[in-house]
């Protein structure tokens, strides 16, 4: 409960800091009202689209019974594991391939061959190799999150300004120091972007993997509810993914702002 | 801080540069040139775009290998880039993630000298008038201030030769004139050999002892003009007019009657 209060506080704070306050709530409010109007007027059948209040009821019931938390926690744990794996590999390989041309020459071909394969296409193999419940899902998530992270990190290393390279030579900056003080900080905004996109991919992959196999997780909860024609539960599950995903992205975004303070970003014209 | 130049003599003999272009062809950027620069001399280099001015500086910096000829500093061949030949670009190229103090300290830190020479960094920041901006990040500086920081970053290493590639090219006219005076005062104090590439004839005339005029690609040295105007020079001194007409004629920009 304390955590929830803290999060709410942080959210209100971020609203205030953004300086837009209530304006952010206009569109969601309008959509909600529209949704309520459409469903209350009997225009659509509840099985196709239940009303917001029905969804709220379902949410309260699912939250109370612990069903929501159980499934969400299962998915969340998988995302964390897969994403952590992808972050380590993606940042490591992205840096490595960007810095060492030999490593790039020998491995880039294979990586580019694997990239177009949708992560979910690995599911049959992954189940055989890593088991149907945890292993296969973590594998799929890691694979899905890896490529955006890897690609962005590699690009981040690549975009190091050539003049910085020349300057470093003239100033006799040793290679290790050059990498640590010029290449890595210059690549940081790209690394953070990669991590954020990677995290979004991780959520897509976990749901896709859980839809296809297993007995736990938000994806499983969605298929189960659909099979029982509990559309309200489906919507609760979807919204839960949105909220948790957005919250995690906010954490990364706050981290990014802290790390990349030297950059002024474009906030719109 | 005033030290008479004892070093920084530059000798180029038949130095030419041919680049390979992306189709495997050859770009003749620099025809063999001969050039002697005395220690502590201020030489400006002027010429049409693409005539090889930057190429010449990069060769002297050691960032590029000559296709022909030899380059020597104080009698020793140039083997590669090092801190004794400092470099300043048109764009300040400060490291955005380092504050001004650490930007200026980069060279000393790189050579493991920073611990003993921290006050050196402060001194050079003061020399370029940025003493109060040590803790500030580059994006918080104006273009002129950033370029002064870039100058300090090069100077703090006590280079024998300072290579300046259109260093004031991106600044407004007023800031530009202030910076010219600052560069002259730094030169008067330190007597570093200066090689200053510019597109601005008046800037070359105001600053330098000699002007190297280069011709259209493939770059050659068309003429070298000694500027015997006493210092301190006044920007509107009548002495400039004769030099200016000769320079314009050499650059093939005829004056309209
Ligand atoms: N790395 C490179 N590879 C291939 N060609 C190059 C390279 N650098 C320069 N050149 C070519 O060499 C010629 C001279 O270039 P350089 O940059 O020295 O000209 P410049 O006199 O400095 O021109 P500007 O006044 O526009 O800065 C140009 O034709 C350019 O296209
Ligand atoms: Mg140039």
Q: Give yes or no for residue B16 CB within 6 A of ligand 1.
A: no
B66-105: per-residue pLDDT in tens? 999 999 999 999 999 999 999 999 999 999 999 999 999 9
Tell whether B206 is covered by a domain.
Answer: yes
Boundary residue ending a domain (B123, B157, B191)? B157
Q: Are residues B194 and B108 in the same domain?
A: no
Q: Which residue among B16, B31, B53 has the greatest number of ligand 1 atoms within 8 angstroms of its CB, and so is best to mutate?
A: B53
Q: What are phi and psi of B19, to 5 degrees?
A: -90, 150
Residue A4 per-residue DSSP state: H
Tell whether B192 is covered by a domain.
Answer: yes
Strand partners, B174: none
Query: pLDDT > 70: what percent of chain B?
Result: 96
Q: Does A173 touch chain B (CB under 8 A)?
A: yes
Tell whether B66 is covered by a domain.
Answer: yes
Q: What are phi and psi of B91, to 5 degrees?
A: -85, 130
Alpha helices in B113-208 (DSSP H): 118-127, 143-155, 173-190, 201-207
Cβ contacts of A80 within 8 Å, gap of 6 or more: none
pLDDT at A37 over 80: yes
> What residues 28-87 of chain A have any CB closer than 8 A to a CB of chain B?
none
End-to-end Cα separation, chain B, in angstroms: 49
Of A161, A171, A185, the CB nearest to B83: A171
Q: Are residues B172 and B57 in the same domain?
A: yes
Split at pLDDT 50, 70, 90, the class of B2 is very low
Tell whether B113 is covered by a domain.
Answer: yes
CB-based burial, B108-143: b 16+ in 10 Å, e otherwise: bbbbeebeeeeebbbebbebbebeebbeebbeebee
Q: Are residues B166 and B241 in the same domain?
A: yes
Q: Are residues B169 and B56 in the same domain?
A: yes
Spatial contact of B197 and B45, defined as CB atoms under 8 Å apart: yes
* Ligand 1, atom 4: closest residue by C-alpha: B19
Rounded to a whole number of angstroms, the CA Rg of chain B reads 18
A94-103: per-residue pLDDT in tens? 999 999 999 9
Higher pLDDT, A223 or A5: A223
Query: pLDDT > 90: what percent of chain B?
Result: 85
- Please give the residue range of the domain that contains residue B110: 95-157
Q: Are residues B144 and B206 in the same domain?
A: no
Q: Does A172 touch chain B (CB under 8 A)?
A: yes
List chain B residues with CB under 8 Å of A168: 110
Tell whether B3 is covered by a domain.
Answer: no
> What residues 175-214 of chain A have any CB closer than 8 A to a CB of chain B?
177, 181-182, 185-186, 188
Q: Are residues B119 and B197 in the same domain?
A: no
Q: What pairing do the DSSP bridges indicate for beta strands B210-215 and B10-20?
A: unpaired
* Ligand 1, atom 29: closest residue by C-alpha: B50
Tell whether B232 is covered by a domain.
Answer: yes
Q: Are residues B144 and B43 in the same domain?
A: no
Question: Does A167 contact B97 at a Cβ distance shorter than 8 Å?
Answer: no
Q: What is the mean pLDDT of residues A56-77?
A: 94
Residue of B nearest to A187 (CA): B97
Q: What is the mean pLDDT of residues A158-175?
A: 95
Strand partners, B225: B211
Q: Are residues B143 and B175 in the same domain?
A: no
- Which residue bears the tokens 């490529």? A147
Structure confidence at residue B255 (pLDDT): 58
Q: Could you tell me the distance, in angstroms and rounded to a whole number, from the CA of residue B210 to the centre of ligand 2?
A: 19
Q: Which CATH number fits domain A61-259: 1.10.3720.10, 2.70.150.10, 3.40.1160.10, 1.10.579.10?
A: 1.10.3720.10
Spatial contact of B232 and B199, defined as CB atoms under 8 Å apart: no
Strand, coil or helix: what is A78?
helix
Structure confidence at residue B5 (pLDDT): 54
- If one counts the domains in chain B, the total is 2
B36-54: per-residue pLDDT in tens? 999 999 999 999 999 999 9
Domain ranges of chain A: 2-44, 61-259
Tell whether B2 is covered by a domain.
Answer: no
Split at pLDDT 50, 70, 90, the class of B257 is very low
Rounded to the nearest 5 degrees, what angle is found at the Cα of B231, between the Cα atoms of B225 and B233?
80
A105-140: per-residue pLDDT in tens? 999 999 999 999 999 999 999 999 999 889 999 999
Of B87, B109, B138, the CB nearest to A167: B87
Q: Cα–Cα distance between A236 and A52 in angstroms, integer?
A: 10
Question: Does B93 contact A161 at a Cβ distance shorter than 8 Å?
Answer: yes
Find the largest Cα–Cα distance for chain B: 62
Structure confidence at residue A268 (pLDDT): 75
pLDDT at B234 over 70: yes
Q: Are residues B166 and B213 in the same domain?
A: yes
The CA-atom distances, in angstroms, between A60 and each of A40, A47, A139, A223, A241 are: 20, 19, 33, 20, 16
Structure confidence at residue B1 (pLDDT): 45
Q: Are residues B132 and B194 in the same domain?
A: no
- Mean pLDDT of chain B, nearest integer: 92
Which pair of tokens denotes residue A187?
Answer: 């690549």
List the one residue out of B8, B15, B7, B39 whose CA is nearest residue B209: B39
Tell whether B24 is covered by a domain.
Answer: yes
Q: Cα–Cα distance between A83 and A139 in angstroms, integer?
A: 10
- Which residue bears the tokens 């100033």? A171
Question: Does B111 contact A172 at a Cβ distance shorter than 8 Å?
Answer: yes
Q: Are residues B79 and B23 in the same domain?
A: yes
List the one residue out of A65, A174, A159 whose CA is nearest residue B110: A174
Q: Could you tell me the distance, in angstroms and rounded to a whole number, from the CA of residue A200 to the centre of ligand 2?
A: 44
Cβ contacts of B177 within 8 Å, gap of 6 or more: B235
Boundary residue ending a domain (B111, B141, B157)? B157
Split at pLDDT 50, 70, 90, the class of B122 is very high
Residue of B nearest to A173 (CA): B110
Split at pLDDT 50, 70, 90, the class of A5 is low
Of A161, A172, A263, the CB nearest to B82: A172
Q: Give yes or no for residue B89 CB within 6 A of ligand 1.
A: no
B170-191: per-residue pLDDT in tens? 999 999 999 999 999 999 998 9
Split at pLDDT 50, 70, 90, the class of A22 is confident
Q: Give yes or no for residue B51 CB within 6 A of ligand 1.
A: yes
Structure confidence at residue A18 (pLDDT): 56
Residue of B nearest to A264 (CA): B139
Of A166, A182, A263, the CB nearest to B95: A182
Residue of A nearest to B140 (CA): A262
| Reported pTM | 0.84
Q: Are residues B150 and B173 in the same domain?
A: no
The CA-atom distances, in angstroms, between A166 and each of A4, A154, A232 are: 51, 20, 61
Report the nearest atom of ligand 1 relative to the CA of B48.
Answer: 25
Q: Cα–Cα distance between A140 and A62 in angstroms, integer?
A: 28
Boundary residue ending a domain (B138, B157, B176)? B157
Higher pLDDT, B21 or B225: B225
A168-189: per-residue pLDDT in tens? 999 999 999 999 999 999 999 9
Residue B215 per-residue DSSP state: E
Structure confidence at residue B254 (pLDDT): 63
Split at pLDDT 50, 70, 90, the class of A24 is confident
Distance of residue B19 Cα from the nearest chain A Cα, in angstroms: 17
Structure confidence at residue A2 (pLDDT): 61
pLDDT at A238 over 70: yes
Question: Does A166 contact B63 at a Cβ distance shorter than 8 Å?
Answer: yes
């Amino acid at each position: 409960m304390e955590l929830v209060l803290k999060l709410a506080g942080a959210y209100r704070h971020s609203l205030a800091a953004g300086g837009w306050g209530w304006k952010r709530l206009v569109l969601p409010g309008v959509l909600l009202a529209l949704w309520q109007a459409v469903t209350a007027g009997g225009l659509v059948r509840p099985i196709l689209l239940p009303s917001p209040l029905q969804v709220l009821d379902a949410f309260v019931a699912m939250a109370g019974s612990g069903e929501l938390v159980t499934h969400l926690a299962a998915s969340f744990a998988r995302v964390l594991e897969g994403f952590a794996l992808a972050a380590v590999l993606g940042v490591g390989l992205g840096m490595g391939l960007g810095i060492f041309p030999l490593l790039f020459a020998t491995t880039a071909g294979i990586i580019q061959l694997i990239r177009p394969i949708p992560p979910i296409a690995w599911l049959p193999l992954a189940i055989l190799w890593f088991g149907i419940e945890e292993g296969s899902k973590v594998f799929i998530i890691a694979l899905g999150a890896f490529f955006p992270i890897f690609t962005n990190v590699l690009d981040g290393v690549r975009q190091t300004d050539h003049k910085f390279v020349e300057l470093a030579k003239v100033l006799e900056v040793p290679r290790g120091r050059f990498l640590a003080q010029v290449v890595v900080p210059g690549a940081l905004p790209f690394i953070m972007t990669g991590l954020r996109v990677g995290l979004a991919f991780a959520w897509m992959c976990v749901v896709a993997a859980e839809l296809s196999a297993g007995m736990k997780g938000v994806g499983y909860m969605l298929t189960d509810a659909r099979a029982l024609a509990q559309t309200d539960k489906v919507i609760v599950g979807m919204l839960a993914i949105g909220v948790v995903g957005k919250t995690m992205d906010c954490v990364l975004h706050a981290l990014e702002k802290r790390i990349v303070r030297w950059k002024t970003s474009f906030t719109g014209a | 801080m005033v030290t008479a130049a004892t070093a920084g003599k530059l000798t180029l003999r038949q130095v030419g540069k041919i680049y390979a272009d992306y189709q495997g062809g050859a770009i003749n950027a620099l025809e063999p040139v001969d050039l002697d620069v005395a220690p502590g001399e201020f030489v400006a280099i002027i010429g049409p775009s693409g005539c090889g001015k930057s190429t010449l500086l990069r060769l002297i910096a050691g960032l590029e290998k000559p296709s022909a000829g030899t380059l020597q500093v104080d009698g020793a061949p140039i083997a590669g880039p090092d801190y004794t030949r400092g470099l300043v670009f048109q764009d300040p190229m400060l490291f955005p993630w380092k504050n001004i103090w650490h930007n200026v300290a980069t060279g000393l830190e790189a050579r493991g000298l920073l611990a003993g020479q921290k006050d050196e960094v402060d001194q050079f920041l003061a020399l370029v008038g940025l003493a109060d901006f040590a803790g500030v990040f580059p994006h918080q500086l104006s273009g002129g201030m950033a370029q002064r920081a870039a100058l300090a970053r090069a100077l703090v290493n006590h280079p024998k030769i300072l290579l300046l590639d259109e260093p004031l090219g991106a600044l407004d006219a007023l800031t530009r004139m202030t910076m010219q005076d600052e560069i002259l005062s730094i030169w008067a104090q330190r007597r570093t050999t200066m090689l200053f590439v510019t597109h601005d004839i008046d800037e070359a005339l105001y600053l330098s002892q000699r002007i190297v005029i280069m011709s259209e690609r493939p770059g050659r040295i068309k003429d070298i003009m000694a500027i015997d105007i006493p210092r301190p020079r006044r920007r509107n001194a009548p002495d400039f007019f004769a030099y200016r007409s000769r320079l314009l004629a050499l650059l093939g920009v005829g004056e309209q009657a």
